Each structure stands twice: as C-alpha cells, then as structure tokens.
Amino acid sequence: MDLFVVVVVLALLFDFINGFHDAANSIATIVSTRVLSPFKAVLWAGFFNFLAFYIFKLHVADTVAKTVDTGAITLLVIIAGLLAAIFWNLITWYYGIPSSSSHTLIGGFAGAAWAHGGLKVVKMKMIWPIIAFILLAPVIGMLISYFNSIILLHLCKRAHPATADKWFRRVQLISSAAFSLGHGGNDAQKVMGIIGAAMLVSGKITSLAHLPQWVVVACYVAIGTGTLFGGWRIVKTMGSKITKLSAFEGVASEAAGAVTLFSTGTLGIPVSTTHTITGSIIGVGLAKRISAVRWGVTVKLFWAWIITIPISALFALGFYHLLHYFV
C-alpha cells in the first residue's frame, strides 16, 4: 500500500480518536449544565470548529509541521508518530484521563524524527514554548475564569436565581460557540499540519498554503464524528469530577477558555484545549471556595499532562524501529 495513503488513513483515525478524547472538552461544560443535549452540542461545536479555519487559517498546523527539521521528515517518521499518538490517546481515553492530543502528536512526531535523524533534528526552540504552556495555559484560563466569576457574581447579586440561570443558559450558547471557535483554531488543525507535512514530503504540494480543501473538510468531519461516538468518558471527568458546574459557571469557564485559545491560536502556539478548559473550570470552582475543587483529581491530571510528550516520544521511537522490520 502507498505509504502516503497509510499516513492519511492513520491521520484521520487519530482525528476520530481525538474527537472522542480531546474535542469532547469543547462540549463538556455545555453538556454537563444541560443547556444542550450531547448530539446538539456536537453539531453546535462542529459548526464553529469548521468556521475557525476561515478565521485563524493554518497558524497552528504550520507550527506542528515545523517542530522537526524538514530533512528529517519522512512518511515512515510520520506513520510512527501517528501510531504513538493513537496508542497513548487510547490508553488515556480508556482511563478517562483528559490528556492533550496536541501534545501527544507533537511528542510522537518529535520522537519518530529523533529515531530517524538523532536529537539534533528536533527543533527545541519550537517545542519549548509548547512545553511552557502546559503550565501557562491552565493558569491563564484559571485566572481569567476566576475573575469572570467574581465580576459576574457582583453584577448579578440582586437578580433572582431562577431568572439569572435562565439568562446564563442562553448566554452559554455564545460562550460555548466562542470556545469552539478557539478550539477549531488551535486543536483541530494539528492533523492538517501532519497531512500537510506528508504532502510536502511526497511532492504533492510546495507549501502548507496550498493544502487542499479536502484535507480541511476530512479532518473536521473525522473530529466531529469521533466526538459524537465516544467522548462521554472525558465529558464526565471535565464536567463533574473537577467541580460541579452551573450555567453561570459554564459561561465564566468557556469565556476564559475562549480568550486563552484565541490568543494562542493567533500566535500559532498549539496549546491544549484540555489544559485550558481544566484551568478555567478550576477557576470557577475557586471563586466559590477552595474546597469546591477536587484537588486529588486535578493533581492526577497534571501528572498526565507532564508525561504526555516524553511518553509519546518514546512510543514513537519504538514504533519507528519496529516499522523498519516491515517496511
């Protein structure tokens, strides 16, 4: 079978898995607050994910493709990286751990390139900002959502609880749409970058600016379908295990996540929507009281985030050497 076809199939499979693993974050708050049913939430998020392509273009996709030297990118490297990313995503999904699919893919891509050309081919100057935002993204989201909650509580202190809840359930449609736009501009582009890299290596395009429209459509369809089929393990962790959410808190956390993702997406930094929305949910929990946050769950998530890139890189290194026996 043509190795390029294998890359495309694995990339779309990863995107599908990413849908029920990572993209579930973009609907977790609005589903857990019961503003939308899971099916309607997927359609809502999918539309704004797709719309994001026309707003953010391919900043993040370009960054993912440039994390290793161009000369070290081969179809075998890409395949090994994708296999590692798929493997780690399935493990973390099974245990309901919302780790970052973005970082899984970047770690896999870097590890496979390392196996092919040595550590020198990995562009650490591109990867260090990504590593830094493992901590920065949730902290930024947490701070913004905390102050969002305080401000909104002050503005609504004289409102009747039932009336306030009714309005916040409507406003959450807007905040959820904004977060999905940020998600589409950041997370949903990473597979486009991988397929684009494969097309560059195969001589099918000369730059990512010439990425065919079918790649964009196929990636969004795959991620949306995956969310519909299996994202509820992650939705449960994000929507109820960290802290209990109301529509008011859903608005505060989604707005904070959207601001963070819009900023990093524009800068081309592939941060994790998982980390961002987790920090935002912690922020609204802190606005109630420190004990409202289930810190045991939060600490476990943090350690999963820390090990994702190195573990994915090691898996990719192993897959690369294994593939050499068959290809």
pLDDT in tens, 128-148: 888 888 888 889 989 999 998
Total domain count for the chain?
1
The pLDDT tens digits for 29-47 are 787 778 887 778 878 887 8
Instruction: List, for residues 158-186, the tens digit of each pLDDT value.
Output: 888 888 888 888 899 998 888 888 877 77
pLDDT average, residue stretch 91-118:
86
Distance CA 148, CA 115 (A): 46
Among residues 11, 40, 12, 17, which one has the least CA distance to residue 230? Answer: 17
Cβ proximity of 19 and 226 under 8 Å: yes
Enumerate residues 6+ apart whose C-beta is below 8 A from 136: 271
List CB contacts of 285: < 8 A, sequence separation 6 or more.
242, 243, 249, 292, 293
Residue 121 has pLDDT above 80, yes or no: yes
Query: Mean pLDDT over residues 240-264, rounded?
Result: 78
Residue 4: predicted pLDDT: 93
What domain range includes position 7? 3-323
pLDDT averaged over every residue in the chain: 82
Residues contacting residue 43 through CB under 8 Å, at least 6 positions apart: none
Residue among 286, 298, 300, 242 at smallest CA distance from 29: 242
DSSP letter string over 90-154? HHHHHTT----HHHHHHHHHHHHHHHHH-GGGB-HHHHHHHHHHHHHHHHHHHHHHHHHHHHHHH
Provide the pLDDT confidence category of residue 249 given band limits of 50, 70 and 90.
confident
* pLDDT the model gives residue 257: 87
**Is pLDDT of 238 > 90?**
no
